[in-house]
Amino acid sequence: MTGLSRILGRSPTRAARGRLIALSVLALLLVIVLGPELAPVAALRGIALDGYQRVSPRPRVSAPVVIVEIDDASLTEYGQWPWPRTVLARLLERIATGRPAAIGVDIVMPEADRLSPDRLAALVSDLDPGLAERLERLPDSDAALGATVARRRVVLGMVGVDVGGASAAAPARQTSTRTIGGPVLAHVQAFSSVLRSTEKIDARAAGRGLVNAAPGERIVRRVPVVAAVGDVLVPSLGIEMLRVAADEQALNVRVGRGNIRAVEIGDLTVPTQPDGTAFVAYGRQDPARYVSAASILSGKVEATRLERRLVLVGVTAVGLGDVHVTPVAARMPGVEIHAQWLESVFDGRLLLRPSWAPWAEAGALLAAGVGLIVALPAMGMWSSVFVILALLVVFPVAGLLAYLQPGLLLDAASPTVGVELVGVTLLLAMLAEAQRHRRILRAEVQARREESARVAGELEAARRIQMGLLPTGLAEEPRVGAYAFLQPARVIGGDLYDYFKLDADRLFFVVADVSGSGVAASLFMAVSKALCKSAALRRGDDLGAIIRDTDADISRDNPEAFFVSLWAGLLDLRTGELQHCNAGHEPAWLVGPGLRVARLLEAEGGPPLCVVDGFPYEAAAYRMRPGETICLVTDGVTEAQDASHRLYGRQRLSQMLSRAVATGGVDELGEAIRSDVASFMAGAPTPDDLTILVLRWHGDATAKLSEP
């Protein structure tokens, strides 16, 4: 994941592509948020606004509304619905004795009462003519209800409809309304006519109000405060009850900037949406709001229960159909929706979605989206995911705070979903680009692996060739025994050793170390070995001349300025006479008969080859005794380091050689050196090539003896 974060954050090309795609998505989302409201956007916004009320429903404080419900218990006691209008008249009279501020009837009675006494004769066949005549002389039920309505402060409900019919008509009477600031009919919800109660009931009511919910919503979130029927402005049931309770004769509708701002009743101002509707601030359903109509009719309710209250009369019995879905309940009677709105007005807990809300939401989406587009490519993977997840909380919390304090309904869902889409789009685009980059990297890695394998194969071949250039022994020469070991620090190295006979009685041997290591040093080593052997074969028995010629030949073609430290010897196998020359190399060690400790074979030498042009190298002489051994090493032995970076050194080599001087052969002595160096290093990395050459002269008298 860390590698992926680096890929995402450090490629300007990938960031630019991801940002371009994310900007396109952001622009499209802004058009959707600010454009005509689409059904999915409206549904998403509704979910957010409903969520606020489910999380924190309005507390019931003043309780100004009492609902008189025609419930199942009332139907059980007073018969099936619809009741005779005389029963409703008696119910209203009973309610009125409690001296309520206003009575709102959420029941529309557009047809004459079929149970009115004057209509019973037509319903019952074979009725006694005298009885039928007496029934016809009894008071009309609708007239009786109308008389009760006329005496009391009753507001009747009516239903706005868009299709005319026998029972639909324009309102015969309407509340006086005054508009302040401009015309309003073009902005409000409009109906072609209304469905209202019969003329006998409606004629002398204190007020009339619409009971409709806002159109186009499966979940009832808003109710119209004012609406238009034809060219007449009419109030809702709730606002009309407030007018009647306040004894006001008219409503004021205030308009500003082409939208409805509020409806005023005396000194009471009720803010509205631009179309004259109002959001209902729902509280939890509370049985304390309700009083059964049966209890009112039987006188079981104290008068103080209704005093100075707004009383709503409605049907709540199961099966009568006036049930709606609201943000806080899956089933809420329509009469309670009016009650909840009236309570929110009294409690001052009005909800408002201001006209600037879409612009604020679009601005939040734009700011957060641009911030993500700018910052996300420079962040790590986990930081990016955390920021995107954090935005799932930030906007809903901000929306909830706006709802709790000033009662503003701001849509948190649209900017939240929009920002998440922008963030996810940006991440996906960057991830896709990262995957493409990974594929390229994998291809490059594979190519490099193949190249490395090819190079490794070539290096291994070079190692085999290099090691193949080295001599393997002197099995056919009993006068001398030899041990040689070379271990490159890498696959191939720059150390070399060589020994060969110039003729039947002379042995040339050399140990050298080319500066540097690796391929270049190994190539220079091969060239140096070949030139040294060539000079030895040309010059014969003059070791000084051999070294001078070798120096000249190597220096001639040395563009990289390599140098070679070298120790060379020329041994006469008959007499033990040894010519030796040291060109800047580790000195030789002598061990053998008569020597209790190893000692250095000291002699003046010169600098490494290729350092000083034309240096006059000369050979020194030493006469070896039979059984005497000469040990040669490169600085890979003396400069070997352990884990604490301590050097192996000449002193430890001297002590080891002194301990090893016994009866062992050259192989045992050489292996003792190698093993001691390996034990000292104890697995520490090998910094330099390591070479060991051990030669023992047996003497001419022992030529027929085999090497011990």
**Strand 690-697 to strand 250-256: parallel, antiparallel, or no bridges (unpaired)?**
unpaired
Give the type of residue at 620: A
- H or E element at residue 379: none
Residues 6+ apart with CB under 8 A from 11: 433, 437
User: Which pLDDT score, from 0 to 100, does residue 88 have?
Assistant: 93
> pLDDT confidence of 156, banded at 50, 70, 90?
very high
Q: Tell me, what's the pLDDT at 134?
A: 62
Residues 633-689: pLDDT tens digits?
Answer: 988 888 888 888 899 988 988 888 888 765 578 888 888 898 898 888 887 887 788
Q: Is 332 helix (H, G, I), strand (E, B) or coil?
A: strand
Least confident range from 74-83, 103-112, 311-320, 484-493: namely 484-493
Confidence band, pLDDT 50/70/90 cuts, at residue 297: very high
Lowest-confidence pick of 252-266, 599-613, 651-665: 651-665
pLDDT average, residue stretch 23-31: 86
Sign of CA dihedral 385, 387, 388, 392: positive
> Do residues 193 and 161 touch, judged by C-beta distance below 8 A?
yes
Confidence check: pLDDT of 164 > 50: yes
Share of the chain above pLDDT 90, in %: 29
- Residue 404 scores a pLDDT above 70: yes
- The model's confidence at residue 237, banded by pLDDT at 50, 70 and 90, is very high
3.40.50.300, 3.60.40.10, 3.30.1330.10, 3.10.580.10: CATH of 469-702: 3.60.40.10
Mean pLDDT of 680-705: 78
Residue carrying the six token digits 């030789």: 588
The residue ranking higher by pLDDT, 128 or 471, is: 471
Given a cut of 90, whether residue 105 has pLDDT beyond it is yes
Q: Are 426 and 19 in contact (CB under 8 A)?
A: yes
8-state DSSP, 647: B
Does a cis peptide bond (omega within 30 degrees of 0) precede residue 82?
Answer: yes
Determine the pLDDT at residue 661.
65
Higher model confidence: residue 565 or residue 124? Answer: 565
Most confidently modeled of 163-167, 301-305, 507-511?
507-511
Domain boundaries, the chain: 2-7+17-49+354-438, 65-346, 469-702
The pLDDT assigned to 124 comes to: 63
- What tens digit of pLDDT does each residue of 412-466 get? 888 888 888 888 888 787 778 778 888 888 888 888 887 776 766 655 665 666 6
* pLDDT in the model for residue 623: 93
Write the DSSP string, 585-640.
SPPEEEE-TT-SS-EEE----BPPBTTSTT-----EEEEPPTTEEEEEE-HHHHT-
**Looking at residue 290, what DSSP letter applies?**
E
Q: Model confidence at 3, in pLDDT bands (50, 70, 90)?
A: very low
Which residues make Cβ contacts (< 8 Å) with residue 512, sequence separation at least 6? 495, 496, 497, 525, 528, 529, 532, 564, 565, 566, 567, 585
Residue 94 has pLDDT above 80, yes or no: yes
pLDDT value of residue 337: 93
pLDDT at 228 over 70: yes
Backbone CA torsion sign across 220, 222, 225, 229: negative
Q: What is the pLDDT of residue 171?
A: 61
Please state, in angstroms and rounded to a whole number, the distance separating the CA atoms of residues 48 and 57.
14
Weakest-pLDDT range from 101-110, 379-388, 610-619: 379-388
What percent of the residues of the chain are helix, what percent strand, and what percent coil, each to the nearest 5? 45, 25, 35
pLDDT value of residue 308: 93
The tens digit of pLDDT for each residue in 482-518 reads 998 888 877 667 788 898 989 989 999 999 988 876 7
Predicted local confidence at residue 97, as pLDDT: 92
**Mean pLDDT, residues 607-633 taken together:** 91
The residues with which 511 forms a beta bridge, in sequence order, are 497, 567
pLDDT (0 to 100) of residue 2 = 42
For 199-239, give the DSSP string: HHHHTT-SEEEE-PPPTT-SB--EEESEEEETTEEEEBHHH
Would you state the pLDDT for residue 420?
A: 84
Average pLDDT of the chain, as a whole number? 84
* Cα 96 from Cα 215, distance rounded (Å): 33
- pLDDT tens digit sequence for 580-589: 999 989 999 9
Question: Residue 453: helix, strand or coil by DSSP?
Answer: helix
Instruction: Show Cβ contacts of residue 633 under 8 Å, excluding neighbours closer than 6 positions.
Output: 511, 586, 653, 673, 690, 691, 692, 693
State how far the Cα of 378 lies from the Cα of 430, in Å rounded to an integer.
Answer: 11
**Which residue matches tokens 């939040």?**
364
Average pLDDT over residues 4-11: 44
Predicted local distance difference test score (pLDDT) of residue 10:
45
Coil, helix or strand at residue 102: strand
Type of residue at 409:
L
Q: Give the separation between CA 444 and CA 457, rounded to whole angstroms.
A: 19
